[in-house]
Amino acid sequence: MPDHDRFSPNLAFSRNIGWLTAKEQERIAQVRVGILGAGGVGGQYAEILARLGVSHFVIWDPDEFSIENTNRQNQCQASTYGKKKVEVIAELIRDINPLAVIHSYPKAMTDEKLDEFCQAIDFYFDGLDFFETDIRISVFRALRRHRRPAITVAPVGTGASALLFTSESMSFDDYFGLHLAKDHVTRSIYFLTGLTPTLMQRRYLVDQSRTDLAKKQVPSLGIGVYTAASLAATTFLKVILQRGTVKLAPWSLHFDPYLGTLKSRYTFGGYKNPVQRLKRWIAMQVLKISSRSAS
């Protein structure tokens, strides 16, 4: 068990000072972070934020670790198969910071709990599964009502693409248009092309057949999950500490270390953008899906 008496936050996070001031470190410790999903990116968010000095977490996830999570999900190993993800991640956070306050819920978020969730946090990290579009739409609508900043990052290949939503940004609905799609496959394409409008990761995808949206299957790499966590935590740092310029949606930032490329993209009009419409149509053709459902 963590030793509360021997733990000193000032000493534990002292190596952050220099890149952060002592006052900034104190500010970070006060921020209440919300994470829905403690699997791929969600688990990495929790660890990187805990090591940054965040001390207040609200985490929801109904799932358990299983062997197919091993390649990318933080704390997924033989000893945690069958264990609730949120409970394992909460234990990790407490091992890093025994003084952390963690409200963990081994259940799925519901529309009825969203207002309570938003009121309990200051900043949201989207760790929901890629295919959980219904609740994601509701979550981002609630966050906008409560004026809570929120970041969603897609780990794609070895890289990641990030979007920041606030009460001043383009709304989640206007950017992605997920609420207009009639089935989960079409929604997935809307979401994918919105998350990664550059689509540059396609240059080194070696086996397209491993992507099956109908079966809710997409390939992933742990490298991309780590990249996503770094992008998300850095954005969080700039927003909370009010450091420098942070671009809001419809701006996206896509970094791919495999290609050695960083692209910042302004998607004018969000999902209505003519180029985005074309990308969705192409995606439908590549995935052998009728283009009629992507209109």
pLDDT for 294 equals: 44
Task: Read off the pLDDT of each residue in 64-78 and give the average, rounded to a whole number.
Answer: 96
Phi-psi region of 191 (alpha: psi -120 to 50; beta: other; left: phi over 0): alpha
For the cut 60, the answer to whether the pLDDT of residue 290 exceeds it is no
Round to whole Å and give the CA distance between 267 and 140.
Answer: 19
Identify which of 105, 122, 115, 134 has the alpha carbon closest to the alpha carbon of residue 54. Answer: 122
Q: Give pLDDT tens digits for 86-123.
A: 999 999 999 999 999 999 999 999 999 999 999 999 99
**Residue 91 burial (CB < 10 Å; 0-12/13-18/19+)?**
middle
Nearest to 142 by CA among 105, 104, 111, 179: 111
Domains and CATH numbers, the chain: 9-171+219-268 (3.40.50.720)
In DSSP notation, 134-196 reads HHHHHHHHHHHHTT--EEEEEEETTEEEEEEE-TTS--HHHHH-GGG-SSHHHHHHHHHHHH-
Q: Is pLDDT above 90 for 291?
A: no
pLDDT given at position 27: 98
Express the helix, strand and coil content of the chain in percent, nearest 5 each: 45, 15, 35
What are 25-36's pLDDT values in tens digits? 999 999 999 999
CA distance 171 to 14: 38
The answer to which of 5-14, 134-143, 279-288 has the lowest mean pLDDT is 279-288
- Residue 144: predicted pLDDT: 98
Task: Give the pLDDT confidence of 275-289 residue by residue, as tens digits.
Answer: 999 999 888 877 655
Question: What are the tens digits of pLDDT across the range 212-240?
Answer: 888 888 899 999 999 999 999 999 999 99
Rounded distance, CA 35 to CA 58, Å?
A: 6
The whole-angstrom separation of Cα 121 and Cα 236 is: 13
Q: How far is CA 221 from CA 10, 162, 165, in A?
A: 35, 17, 25
φ/ψ (deg, to 5) at 190: -55, -45
Q: Mean pLDDT, to the nearest integer, of 259-264?
A: 97
Kindly report which listed range (148-157, 183-192, 280-289) carries the lowest average pLDDT score. Answer: 280-289
| pLDDT score for 269 | 97
Give the residue, 281 or 269, on which the prediction is more confident. 269
Amino acid occupying residue 129: D
